Chains A and B, each alone.
Chain A
């Protein structure tokens, strides 16, 4: 059974840092692109970042580029999002999601339960 379990969320002051982790199990982690997707309270889904299977490619939404860093450790089946210079608008539930692929399309076929990040003084 595929499982994605996020951790590391919490309350942080503006300008602070937080490190989110996602523990993956039930599949060969190193063969999938992985993403972070967030959802502000009462708002829609927003993709944040993704990383290629071997970590050689990483992409970010404009609003977090330069502040957030996505990384992975395939030996430990772990995905990480390092978040620096946090702002109030980064407050959201952060989901770890696997990018499945079929017929030339990638899509989010499994999601974690999410971890809440609150940026407030």
Chain B
């Protein structure tokens, strides 16, 4: 079955840029979403369709997807960005016809 791989942890200094990767075989051929989850809270969608932001998500959060790697980038990282981040894709290449969901293992972002 298809698998998404994320680094367990990423650290960044306040004001710097954080990059969180998500790897999978030919991942660039699929749409990727990203979710932010803070301790004790439900996940929040921050990126869909590789690079689009839902309403209310700040512009400093961006996404890209090419080849075997999708990347979530947070520019000017703030303390409030400290959270777990999960990438997500569908098992089929045709997202509209996909049936099952795959999550990456999650990355804990620490703002030092």
Contacts and interface: CB of A to CB of B under 8 A. Distances in A.
Interface of A: 35, 37, 44-47, 50, 57, 59, 61, 95, 100-109, 111-114
B88 A107 contact: yes
A45 B106 contact: yes
A15 to B, nearest CB: 26
A95 B49 contact: no
A107 B48 contact: yes
Interface of B: 31, 33, 35, 37, 42-45, 48-49, 52, 54, 84, 86, 88, 90, 94-96, 98-106
Contacts of A108: 33, 35, 43, 45, 88
Contacts of A59: 99-100
Given A104-B95, A108-B43, A111-B43, A45 B35 contact: yes
Given A44-B106, A111-B42, A113-B42, A105 B95 contact: yes
A112 B100 contact: no
Contact of A109 (B45, B94, B99, B100): B45
Contacts of B43: 37, 45, 95, 108, 111
Is chain A's binding surface mostly helix, strand, loop or mixed?
strand
A95 B42 contact: yes
Q: Which of B94, B101, B104 has the most CB of A within 10 A?
A: B101
Residue in A46, A50, A104, A108 whose Cβ sees the most chain B Cβ within 10 Å: A108
Nearest to A95: B42
Contacts of A35: 101
Contact of B48 (A46, A47, A102): A102
Contacts of A45: 35, 37, 43, 86, 88, 103, 106
A101 B49 CA distance: 10
Contact of A106 (B44, B54, B95, B103): B95
12 contacts: A37-B43, A47-B100, A50-B99, A102-B48, A103-B49, A104-B31, A106-B95, A106-B98, A107-B48, A107-B49, A112-B42, A113-B42
